[in-house]
């Protein structure tokens, strides 16, 4: 009986020790969590941007840096903008830049620019990987920026156009723009502005009757280009277009005329060469025909003695007739010789 009681007592003692160990482990984990998040929780509480312990623990489980979210929330609350920890965490999980988005929202609020948290997040995500940021967009909206046209890294120093008189005009422009936050998401960026302004300058120069008109009033270029509404569908609003430099280039019209004259000359030479080749071919053909006729004459002359012999045998030609024929031939040869001698003199 005593043995059974001892065994039961030992079992009960072992169970109590196990329970105590588990309870101690739970308390240890609780203390660790308390120590880990206490400073963050206390910092948020003292800053007026309280975040509950369960929220902090849930952030750790989701792999979200709690200190980053708390710091962003403290920054926004101190600036007078209320952003919940859930919104900040959601933007972080969407791979957004939480700190820059909060800073952009604060900058817009201080400049009295209408920008809410959802639009700021959308701009931040839209500009990711483009070299731009939501903070830069807000700063450009506050302080307009100047875009060089053409771009300094584009390989061209000027925008070249040709007036109606054929003279080339070279120009450089500076476009002052500010961000249009309402249209920033899904709109064209600086490259489109540069391309449209360049196209407008080339068109304006090309419609001028003379290059002198452009040189006399370069501001007419900026006025015409500005009236075309080049900022439609872009993330910017064009404030001004200023012609920074305008200069005279080459006489493109004269070069084109020279090129056309050279082309016409080459065509004429080609046609003349074709005619010469045709004439040479015809000459060779005539020579061949002459040779052919000469061969026929020689062949015919070879038949004369045979015909004379046949005439003697048939009695159609007498001896006197033959001598008279030779005299006529000799007389003809003498006359030909005399006429050739006179021609040489």
Q: Which residue, of 199, 232, 251, is where some domain finishes? A: 251
Kindly state the average pLDDT of the residues 5-32.
Answer: 60
SS3 244: strand
Higher pLDDT, 40 or 243: 243
Residues 154 and 131 in one domain: no
Residues 184 and 172 in one domain: yes
Whether 303 is in a domain gets the answer no
Residues 43 and 125 in one domain: yes
Residues 99 and 30 in one domain: yes
Secondary-structure breakdown of the chain: helix, strand, coil percentages, each rounded to the nearest 5 = 65, 10, 20
Whether 11 is in a domain gets the answer no
- For the cut 60, the answer to whether the pLDDT of residue 8 exceeds it is no
Residues 111 and 81 in one domain: yes
Q: What percent of the chain is modeled with pLDDT above 90?
A: 3
Whether 316 is in a domain gets the answer no
| CATH number for 171 | 3.30.479.30
**CB < 8 Å & 24+ apart, contacts of 258-267:** none
- Residue 180: CA atoms inside 13 Å, Cβ hemisphere, count? 19
- For the cut 50, the answer to whether the pLDDT of residue 33 exceeds it is yes
What distance in Å separates the CA atoms of residue 246 and residue 311, rounded to the nearest whole number?
104
Query: Which tokens go with 284?
Result: 């060779």
Residues 31 and 133 in one domain: yes
Residues 124 and 83 in one domain: yes
Whether 7 is in a domain gets the answer no
Q: Which residue, of 121, 140, 159, is where some domain finishes? A: 140
Q: What are the pLDDT digits (tens) for 179-221?
A: 888 888 777 888 888 888 888 888 888 888 888 888 888 888 8
Q: Are strands 167-179 and 145-149 parallel, antiparallel or unpaired?
A: antiparallel
Residues 76 and 169 in one domain: no
Rounding to the nearest 10 degrees, give the CA dihedral for residues 183, 186, 191, 193.
-30
Q: What are the pLDDT digits (tens) for 35-65?
A: 666 777 778 787 777 888 788 878 887 888 8
- Domain hosting 181: range is 144-251
Q: What is the mean pLDDT of the chain?
A: 80
Residues 129 and 149 in one domain: no
Quote the radius of gyration of the chain (alpha carbons, Å). 53
Whether 126 is in a domain gets the answer yes
Whether 338 is in a domain gets the answer no
Orientation angle between helical segments 2-46 and 53-61, nearest 10 degrees: 100
pLDDT classification of 5: cutoffs 50, 70, 90: very low
Q: Which residue, of 251, 275, 292, is where some domain finishes? A: 251
Whether 81 is in a domain gets the answer yes
- For the cut 70, the answer to whether the pLDDT of residue 166 exceeds it is yes
Residues 121 and 171 in one domain: no
- Residue 252: CA atoms inside 13 Å, Cβ hemisphere, count? 16
Instruction: Report pTM.
Output: 0.61
Residues 30 and 136 in one domain: yes
Residues 131 and 50 in one domain: yes
Q: What are the pLDDT digits (tens) for 110-151?
A: 888 888 899 999 988 888 877 788 888 888 888 888 888 888
Q: What are the pLDDT digits (tens) for 253-306?
A: 777 788 888 888 889 888 888 888 888 888 888 888 888 888 887 777 777 777
Say which range, 39-48, 164-173, 235-244, has the weakest mean pLDDT: 39-48
Q: Are strands 145-149 and 159-162 parallel, antiparallel or unpaired?
A: unpaired
Whether 245 is in a domain gets the answer yes
Count of domains forming the chain: 2
pLDDT confidence of residue 36: 64
């Amino acid at each position: 009986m005593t043995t059974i009681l001892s065994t039961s007592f030992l079992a009960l003692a072992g169970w109590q020790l196990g329970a105590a160990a588990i309870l101690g482990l739970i308390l240890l984990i609780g203390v660790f969590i308390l120590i880990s998040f206490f400073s963050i929780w206390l910092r948020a509480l003292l800053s007026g941007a309280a975040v509950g312990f369960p929220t902090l623990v849930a952030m750790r489980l989701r792999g979200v840096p709690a200190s980053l979210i708390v710091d962003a929330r403290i920054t926004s609350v101190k600036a007078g903008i209320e952003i919940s920890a859930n919104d900040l965490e959601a933007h972080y999980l969407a791979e957004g830049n939480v700190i820059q988005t909060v800073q952009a929202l604060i900058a817009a609020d201080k400049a009295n620019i209408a920008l809410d948290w959802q639009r700021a997040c959308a701009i931040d995500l839209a500009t990711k990987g483009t070299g731009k940021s939501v903070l830069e967009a807000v700063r450009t909206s506050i302080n307009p920026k100047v875009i060089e046209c053409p771009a300094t890294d584009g390989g061209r120093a000027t925008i070249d156009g040709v007036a109606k008189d054929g003279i080339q005009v070279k120009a450089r422009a500076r476009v002052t723009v500010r961000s249009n936050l309402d249209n920033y998401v899904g709109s064209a960026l600086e490259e489109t502005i540069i391309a449209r302004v360049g196209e407008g300058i080339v068109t304006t120069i090309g419609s001028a009757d003379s290059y002198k008109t452009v040189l006399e009033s370069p501001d007419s270029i900026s006025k015409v280009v500005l009236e075309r509404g080049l900022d439609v569908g872009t993330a910017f609003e064009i404030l001004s277009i200023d012609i920074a430099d305008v200069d005279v280039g080459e006489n493109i019209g004269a070069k084109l005329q020279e090129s056309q004259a050279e082309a016409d000359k080459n065509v004429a030479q080609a046609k003349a060469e074709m005619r010469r080749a045709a004439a040479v071919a015809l000459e060779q053909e005539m020579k061949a025909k002459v040779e052919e006729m000469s061969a026929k004459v020689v062949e015919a002359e070879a038949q004369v003695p045979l015909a004379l012999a046949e005439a003697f045998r048939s009695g159609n030609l007498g001896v006197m007739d033959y001598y008279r024929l030779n005299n006529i031939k000799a007389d003809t040869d003498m006359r030909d010789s005399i006429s050739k001698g006179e021609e040489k003199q």
